[in-house]
Structure 1
């Protein structure tokens, strides 16, 4: 699980990222991001609603997202607040599918931030 400094924890931070951040849609989740200076630690938040499934399924999706983002943090990803909103299709997705989707979304957001 990501360390506390790598998690979005406050409701107002979630709202800020969701409302003012860049957005990348996908089949399994929608990714919102706000970029900061590069030495700011990356922070990740996860929204998995009841539309995804029962508590067991929602927690599995959340654990998978946390494991995937932990890998990105260890690889040196920094300078952004990211919020993932899982879609109902993520309940049936494999770990590999979810990993590909998250990696694609983060790569696209990073390339957009470089251009801006």
Structure 2
């Protein structure tokens, strides 16, 4: 038996990290933009009446918590995609796709929860 034969389980794909890298370049800037505009959104109700301002303020607090939690989840999914890219490449690729999708879901959930004026 030749000695240069390698076991199929020890051979790793050579470019498994590319999906996680592309996901990083998409997820992190998107998350920062969503966080920025979410932080600026209280200015939408600067000229509101007292009743509209109260409705907006009472809905903004929980929506902000959901936004920050889902953005933290998207970063966790991104880190998991990097970890799984080398251990389980198909799962790493799936997580790399899900990370920017989680940012989008965070933005949609935030805008749906806030009672806009």
- Tell me which interval the TM-score lies in, with the shorter structure as reference length: 0.3 to 0.5
Higher helix share: 2
TM-score by length of 2: 0.32
Higher strand share: 1
| Rg comparison, structure with higher value | 2
TM-score by length of 1: 0.32
